[in-house]
Amino acid sequence: MGQGQSAEIKASYLTAEELRVAASLLYNAYHDDLFFQQAFGRQGYGQKLRAALREELAELWQHKQKLVGFYQEDVLVAVACIVDKEYPQGESRYWYWRLKMALGTGWSPTRHWMEREDELKGMLPGDNYWLLQLIAVHPQQQNQGIGGQVLASLLQLLSESDAQGLAVFVSQPQHEQLFARKGFKSMEKVTLGDVTGQLMYFDAADRDGVAQSV
C-alpha cells in the first residue's frame, strides 16, 4: 500500500471460487509479518501460514463476513476481510475453527491467534464495531494509490451500515501513515509478544476525519 499513480479499481464481494486467489494475495502480504513469524515459528512457516489463511478465509466466507475484492481490468489486485460484532473472536471462536486451524498450524499458533484477537477486542470502544482482519494489495500493484482506494471503499461501506467504527492493528509505519491519512486515529500502543504496533480506529460518527483520496 502506498502513494503513487492512481489506478482505477472496482470493488465487489468475493465469490467462493476467488478465495484461493485471495489467499495467495494475503500470503504474499503477510509472509514477512513479524506477528505471524513469531506465532508460527520457523519450521514449516510457509505451509502453516498458507493453511491458516485458507482456513480463516473459508470460515469468514461461510459466516457471511465482508470479504471484499478489488479489481483492475477484471484482475483481483487487492482484498480486504472485515469481521463484525456477530462474528466470534478470541476464545469465543467456533470449536471446529479451532480444530481445523490447530490441525493445519499446530495448537500454539492457534492460541496466539486467539490471544491477539482477545487483546485487540478488549481495547475497542463499545461492541458495535468492524475489525479489518486482513488486507492485501498485489505486490506488482503497490505504490499506485490502490491502498488509498481500498480504504476509501471500506469507509463508504461503513457509512452505509449501523457499525460505530472500523478498527485495524498496524505494525509498519508506512501503513500507519496511510490509515492516518484516511481519518483513522491511534487508540493505543499494542505489544503482542515481541511485536509492537498501533490499534487504529475510524469513528463512523466523525465523518470530517475522512481524508481526501490518495
Report if residue 143 sits inside a domain: yes
CA-based radius of gyration for the chain: 16
Neighbouring CB atoms inside 10 A of 90's CB total: 15
pLDDT at 65 over 70: yes
Q: In the chain, how many domains are there?
A: 1
Length of the chain: 214
Residues spanned by the domain of 30: 10-209
What's residue 55's pLDDT? Answer: 92
pLDDT at 212 over 70: no
Report if residue 3 sits inside a domain: no
Report if residue 2 sits inside a domain: no
Report if residue 43 sits inside a domain: yes
Q: State the chain's mean pLDDT as an integer.
A: 86
Report if residue 55 sits inside a domain: yes
Q: Which of 39, 27, 13 is closest to 153 using CA atoms?
A: 13
Angle in degrees, 0-180, between the axes of helices 107-123 and 45-62, rounded to the nearest 10:
50
- Mean of the pLDDT values across residues 173-196? 85
Tell me the pLDDT tens digit for each residue of 156-183: 999 999 999 999 998 887 888 889 999 9
What's residue 154's pLDDT? Answer: 95
Q: How confident is the model at residue 207 (pLDDT cuts 50, 70, 90)?
A: low
Q: What is the CATH number of the domain that holds 192?
A: 3.40.630.30
pTM equals 0.85
Q: What is the three-state SS of the chain?
A: CCCCCCCCCEEEECCHHHHHHHHHHHHHHHCCCHHHHHHHCCCCHHHHHHHHHHHHHHHHHHCCCEEEEEEECCEEEEEEEEECCCCCCHHHCCHHHHHHHHHHHCHHHHHHHHHHHHHHHHHCCCCCCEEEEEEEECHHHCCCCHHHHHHHHHHHHHHCCCCCEEEEEECCHHHHHHHHHCCCEEEEEEEECCEEEEEEEEECCCHHHCCCCC
Report if residue 177 sits inside a domain: yes
Report if residue 4 sits inside a domain: no
Tell me the pLDDT tens digit for each residue of 2-30: 344 445 789 999 999 999 999 999 999 99
What's residue 122's pLDDT? Answer: 84
